Amino acid sequence: MSRRLGLLGGTFDPIHYGHLDAADAAQRTLSLDEVRLLPAHDPPHRPADPRATAFHRFALVALAIESRAGYVASDEELRREGPSYTIDTLRAQHRDGWKPSQLFFIIGADAFAEIATWHEYPAVLDATNFAVIARPGTTIEAALARVPELHPRTQLAMAGCVQTSDRTSIFLIEAQTRDISSTTIRARLAARQPIDDLVPASVARHIVAHHLYGTVDELHGQNIRRRSQSI
Tens of each residue's pLDDT in the chain, 231 residues:
589 999 999 999 999 999 999 999 999 999 999 999 999 999 887 767 899 999 999 999 999 999 999 999 999 999 999 999 999 999 999 999 999 999 999 999 999 999 999 999 999 999 999 999 998 888 899 999 999 999 999 998 877 667 777 899 999 999 999 999 999 999 999 999 999 999 999 999 999 999 999 887 654 443 333 433 444
The one-letter amino acid code at 110 reads D
Domain for residue 86, yes or no? Answer: yes
- Domain of residue 117 covers 5-179
- Does the pTM surpass 0.85? The reply is yes
Give the whole-angstrom CA distance, residue 19 versus residue 82.
24
* CATH number assigned to the domain comprising residue 66: 3.40.50.620
Residue 47: partners with Cβ closer than 8 Å, 6 or more residues away = none
Helix or strand or coil: residue 171? strand
Distance of alpha carbon 147 from alpha carbon 112, whole angstroms: 9
Domain membership of residue 199 (yes or no) is: no
Q: What is the pLDDT of residue 48?
A: 76
Within a domain: 103: yes
Please give the pLDDT value at position 227: 38
- Residue 63 falls within a domain, yes or no? yes
Residue 225 maps to a domain: no
Whether the bond into 14 is cis, omega within 30 of 0 = yes
- Measured between alpha carbons, how far is 10 from 19 in angstroms, rounded to an integer? 9
- Whose CA is closest to 173, among 6, 1, 2? 6
Please give the tally of structural domains in the chain. 1
Residue 105 lies in a domain: yes
Residue 160 · residue 137 · CB < 8 Å: no
Q: What kind and span of H or E run contains 17?
A: helix 17-30
The answer to whether position 213 is within a domain reads no
In a domain, 205, yes or no: no
Per-residue model confidence (pLDDT) at position 216: 72
Q: How far apart are CA 78 and CA 55, in angstroms?
A: 9
Q: Half-sphere exposure of 108 toward its Cβ, with a 13 Å CA cutoff?
A: 19
Nearest to 16 by CA among 195, 160, 221, 153: 195
